[in-house]
Amino acid sequence: MSMELEHEDTTGRTEPIITVRNLRTAFFTDKEVIRAVDGVSFDIAPGETVGIVGESGSGKSVTARSIMGLIESPGRILDGSSIRYRHPETVREFAERFPKRTVDLTDFEGDRDPAALFDHPDVDATPSSFGYEDPEEATLEDFTGVGYGDALGIDRGDCVFVTEGSHEDPVDGFVEVTRLSGEAQRAIRGGRIAMVFQDPLTSLNPVYTVGNQIKEALRLHQDLSGRDATREAIDLLEAVGIPDARRRVAEYPHQFSGGMRQRAVIAMALACDPEVLICDEPTTALDVTIQAQILDLLRELQVERDLAIMFITHDMGVIADVSNRVNVMYAGEIVETAGVEPLFAEPRHPYTRGLLESIPGRQSGDRLRTIEGTVPTPNEPATYCRFAPRCPEAFEDCEHVHPVSMPVNEGTDSHRAACLLYPEDRPTEEAVERHAERDDSIRGAASPADGDRPTGGEDR
């Protein structure tokens, strides 16, 4: 019951299966710290497609790779980031399979006051880093992300959290994806959360037949082999619309066209029977007709399997076509989020407006407008608006105040923008002040201990 109250449902659909909170992923290169993803939060629900759109370098793929557990050195997900996979069946299965990695948070209740954890030396969070004003609103699960689990006395290896029921018989809970490793990680990646990349050849091995690659996925994730696996592989190829599947199952990737290869990759992703499908520009390399067919296919599969889809593209036309909700990314941050209709009917962030004007046929003149300049590399903490140098509406404050996510109108919580002009029903000076206050209290949380300081003489 408390669940319905706690989680705002932004689409009118079911509870989210993925919740990303304050995700920060940085690359520590010799030269600089690149804050590729810098404080990103969003949800994905079953049966829903969440679009992530933005120009090249805005952090879309790093967001996807963070969810997939594919960030490698010199990259790292920073302390305080949380990615929760909420699926009662998985929690039950994992609690049984990985009992030593399972923590019953209900055991902590009573002797752990979540509000007191803000004073813990290892915790650099403030209530506003979790989206609250009042510390009393915090829950133990807010603290289970990277790093903060240690403050709860939870082992580094623990990743399954029971929030209702018990260790032996969990009713509800979540898997904290940022804490996964080893076998539990392999069971989630590819098994529960599958990914389709732009280039199908990165997922297909040229020396094995398409059928054998699907069968390998079936063996790993569904424990199928032999004739059963062959039959299932053929079924999957048929399900993704590959004609003459019985013959083609024995062919090699090079014998497939680009569109057919991408269908085969989708079949391979489905072989794991995932709940979540992350698509990173899956149609960018394909011609328009084939692209439309693949998008139709994804829609069909979504309905059949109640898939939660995260769809990445830099193409506003594609995003309009596939998404229920859209997150617009710029230089590591989500600058606007809304349902697809309000986003396209009334885009608020100047960056979103710029992206929309660059769609052919949408602007009044006959020339295609593009936003001048490129996405800056986010190599320092944002203490200003990263879009300001390119923004037609920038004013002086934009260079000194970092805009945080705010409702575009007071009360319209599901349409938000990180721009000093919002909420638009407030005088701008007042809005600016609100951004500055919120940013200050979030910044109070920025950890000096997580090693993400740029090199320089700031240390004492």
Ligand X SMILES: Nc1ncnc2c1ncn2[C@@H]1O[C@H](COP(=O)(O)OP(=O)(O)OP(=O)(O)O)[C@@H](O)[C@H]1O
- If contact means CB under 5 to 8 A according to the sort of partner, which of Ni ion, ligand X, none does residue 188 touch? none
By CB under 5 A, is residue 198 in contact with Ni ion? no
- If contact means CB under 5 to 8 A according to the sort of partner, which of ligand X, Ni ion, none does residue 59 touch? ligand X
Nearer to ligand X, 59 or 191 (CB): 59
Is residue 28 within 8 A of residue 74, CB to CB? The reply is yes
Nearer to Ni ion, 212 or 284 (CB): 284
Run of H or E residues at 230: helix 226-239
By CB under 5 A, is residue 25 in contact with Ni ion? no
Report how far residue 250's alpha carbon sits from residue 280's, in angstroms, rounded to the nearest whole number: 27
Query: Segment 278-317, which members bind ligand X (CB under 6 A)?
Result: 314
Nearer to ligand X, 75 or 173 (CB): 75
Nearer to Ni ion, 18 or 53 (CB): 53
DSSP β-ladder status, 276-280 and 325-330: unpaired
- If contact means CB under 5 to 8 A according to the sort of partner, which of ligand X, Ni ion, none does residue 181 touch? none
Is residue 197 within 8 A of residue 280, CB to CB? The reply is yes
Number of helical (H) and strand (E) elements in the chain, helices listed first: 15, 15
By CB under 5 A, is residue 63 in contact with Ni ion? no
Report how far residue 270's alpha carbon sits from residue 304's, in angstroms, rounded to the nearest whole number: 12
DSSP β-ladder status, 333-339 and 416-417: antiparallel
**Terminal Cα distance for the chain, rounded:** 50
How many chain residues bind ligand X (CB under 6 A)?
A: 15
* Nearest distance, CB of residue 56 and Ni ion, angstroms: 7
Helices 258-270 & 210-222, crossing angle to 10 degrees?
A: 20
- If contact means CB under 5 to 8 A according to the sort of partner, which of Ni ion, ligand X, none does residue 34 touch? ligand X
Among 39, 57, 253, 274, interactor with ligand X by CB under 6 A: 57
Report how far residue 406's alpha carbon sits from residue 35's, in angstroms, rounded to the nearest whole number: 22
Query: Where do we find the tokens 């085969």?
Result: 264
Q: Which residue of the chain is nearest Ni ion when measured via CB? A: 61
Nearer to ligand X, 39 or 57 (CB): 57
User: H helices within 98-209, ranges in order?
Assistant: 105-108, 148-151, 182-188
133-141, Cβ contacts within 8 angstroms, sequence gap of 24 or more: 138/114, 139/114, 140/105, 140/108, 140/109, 140/112, 140/114, 141/84, 141/105, 141/174
Return the amino acid letter for 87. Answer: H
Nearer to ligand X, 29 or 205 (CB): 29
Among 16, 51, 75, 80, interactor with ligand X by CB under 6 A: 75
Neighbours of 29 (CB within 10 A): 11
* Nearest distance, CB of residue 49 and ligand X, angstroms: 18
Is residue 414 within 8 A of residue 405, CB to CB? The reply is no
User: Following DSSP, what letter does each residue of 197-229 receive, concatenated?
Assistant: -SSGGGTS-TTS-HHHHHHHHHHHHH---HHHH
By CB under 6 A, is residue 56 in contact with ligand X? yes
Query: For Ni ion, which stretch binds (CB under 5 A), given 54-62, 74-82, 225-233, 370-378?
Result: 54-62
Going residue by residue from 314 to 353, which x/- string records binding to ligand X, judged by CB under 6 A?
x---------------------------------------
Among 18, 34, 204, 295, interactor with ligand X by CB under 6 A: 34
Nearer to ligand X, 58 or 405 (CB): 58
What burial letters (b/e) apply to 319-349, b meaning 16+ CB within 10 Å? bbbbbbbbbbbbbbbbbbbbbbebbbeebbb
Nearer to Ni ion, 60 or 86 (CB): 60
Among 27, 42, 148, 256, interactor with ligand X by CB under 6 A: 27
* Nearest distance, CB of residue 55 and ligand X, angstroms: 7
* Nearest distance, CB of residue 198 and ligand X, angstroms: 8
Query: What does the radius of gyration of the chain's CA atoms come to, in whole angstroms?
Result: 23
Report how far residue 111's alpha carbon sits from residue 115's, in angstroms, rounded to the nearest whole number: 12
- If contact means CB under 5 to 8 A according to the sort of partner, which of Ni ion, ligand X, none does residue 403 touch? none
* Nearest distance, CB of residue 280 and Ni ion, angstroms: 6
* Nearest distance, CB of residue 181 and Ni ion, angstroms: 25
By CB under 5 A, is residue 61 in contact with Ni ion? yes
Nearer to Ni ion, 61 or 405 (CB): 61
Q: Which of 405, 253, 236 is nearest to 330 (CA)?
A: 405
Among 11, 22, 49, 58, interactor with ligand X by CB under 6 A: 58
Nearer to Ni ion, 60 or 325 (CB): 60
Query: Segment 97-126, which members bind ligand X (CB under 6 A)?
Result: none
Binding site for Ni ion (CB under 5 A): 60-61
Binding site for ligand X (CB under 6 A): 27, 29, 34, 36, 54, 56-62, 75, 314, 377
